[in-house]
Amino acid sequence: MNAPWKTSLHGGHSGEFCEHAEATLREMLEAAVAFGYDTFGVSEHAPRTLDRFIYPSEREKGFTVERLHDDFEAYVRELGDLSAEFSDRLTVLRGFEAECVPTEGYEQFALSLKGRHVFDYMVGSVHYVHETPIDGEPEFFHQLVAECGGLENTAVHYYIQVAQMVEALTPDVVGHLDLIRRHARPDARLDTTRIRTAAEAALEAIRAAGSILDLNTAGWRKGLGNPYPAPWLVEMAARMEIGFCFGDDSHKPADVGAGLEEGRLYLLANGVTSIRRITRRDGVLVKESVPLSE
């Protein structure tokens, strides 16, 4: 029997529906079965709505806004079919990851997606600050830091935007809370008093919304030394009694389950003894807490 803590609520991106991912959605689910997941949430990126937010790599391949929307509709159909097909081997949850651009109007669009389709949950993530991507090409991030007047100001603006996103969308899961670390220097101070104050306000919004935090193992794959979020944020969230789930943020089969065992030990080392998860039991969605013990 698979351990119930082997649940990911952020990932399953596939090359069929995400330009910077690999493999098919079926192959991603087969990898989840092989890893021994109990529950695997698939949370493909919501389509962006304006041409200026198409990534350079997508533009080179001829992607358009219409293509992104068509791909997302195909994703919804395929995930529905595969979740039923895999039901005897794996609990597959149908989700999506909201994009918080453009600044004006993203919430209406994300909520309309949620209302138009049968989704089990939503991940709310901030990939942009002032409509500039923070985890894409490094030059965009460095341009943003210059415009904000330094890294500290940039991080403060980031956490303010996280709080605004949570208040607007009330997502079930908040993705990779300190993604702002992605392109910062390894020795950069991202826990100054001002940053901690802004992060605490974001966590207050998360607690008020009843959202859970994604312990996102991709931080290790990105060479950051630990997952998202950093230990000080895990400890702060734990003191505030905000729950965590796992997210492998998988974009190819090799990512599926990567770092999950290390993530379990990381949470335990930082005072978190259980995860909160969403699963399905007898056809009904259930939110529950499960221990991190084996």
What pLDDT, in 10s, does the model give residues 187-204?
Answer: 899 999 999 999 999 999
Mean pLDDT of the chain: 97
The answer to whether position 246 is within a domain reads yes
- Residue 81's pLDDT band, with cuts at 50, 70 and 90, is very high
What pLDDT score does 56 carry? 92
The answer to whether position 24 is within a domain reads yes
> With pLDDT > 70 as the criterion, what percentage of the chain qualifies?
99
Q: Which tokens in the block code for residue 50?
A: 């304006």
Q: Give the contacts of 140 (CB within 8 A, at least 6 positions apart).
A: 132, 133, 134
Q: What is the pLDDT of residues 34-53, one digit of tens each?
A: 999 999 999 999 999 999 99
The phi, psi pair for 247, rounded to 5°, reads: -140, 120
What pLDDT score does 2 carry? 85
Q: What is the pTM of this model?
A: 0.97
The answer to whether position 1 is within a domain reads no
Q: What b-and-e string marks burial along 10-48, b requiring 16 or more CB atoms within 10 Å of the CB?
A: bbbbbbbbbbebbbebebbbbbbeebebbbbbbbbbbbb
Q: Please determine, for residue 136, whether its predicted confidence score (pLDDT) is greater than 80.
A: yes
The answer to whether position 240 is within a domain reads yes
Determine the 3-state secondary structure of 133 from DSSP.
strand
What pLDDT score does 241 carry? 97
State how many domains the chain has: 1
CATH number at residue 204: 3.20.20.140
How far is Cα 278 from Cα 142, in angstroms, rounded to an integer? 37
292: exposed, middle or buried (Cβ count in 10 Å: 0-12, 13-18, 19+): middle
Which residue, among 26, 29, 24, 10, has the nearest Cα to 89 in the 3D structure? 29
The answer to whether position 181 is within a domain reads yes
Chain-centroid distance of CA 290 in Å reads: 20
What residues make up the domain containing 123?
Answer: 7-291
The predicted model gives 265-275 an average pLDDT of 97
What pLDDT score does 294 carry? 64
- In 231-272, which ranges are E strands? 244-247
Q: Please determine, for residue 1, whether its predicted confidence score (pLDDT) is greater than 80.
A: no
How far is Cα 36 from Cα 260, in angstroms, rounded to an integer? 11
- In the chain, which ranges are E strands? 7-8, 39-45, 91-98, 121-124, 128-129, 132-133, 173-174, 212-216, 244-247, 274-281, 284-291
Alpha-carbon separation of residue 155 from 33, 98, 195 (angstroms) = 38, 20, 6
DSSP state of 150: S
The predicted model gives 232-252 an average pLDDT of 98
What pLDDT score does 128 carry? 97
Q: What angle do CA 181, 186, 188 make, to 5 degrees?
A: 75
- Residue 251's pLDDT band, with cuts at 50, 70 and 90, is very high
What pLDDT score does 25 carry? 98
Contact 260, 6 (CB under 8 A): yes
How far is Cα 79 from Cα 85, in angstroms, rounded to an integer? 10
The answer to whether position 26 is within a domain reads yes
The answer to whether position 61 is within a domain reads yes
Q: Please determine, for residue 208, whether its predicted confidence score (pLDDT) is greater than 70.
A: yes
Cα end-to-end distance, the chain, whole Å? 12
Q: Please determine, for residue 236, whether its predicted confidence score (pLDDT) is greater than 70.
A: yes
The answer to whether position 110 is within a domain reads yes
The predicted model gives 218-246 an average pLDDT of 97
What pLDDT score does 293 carry? 84
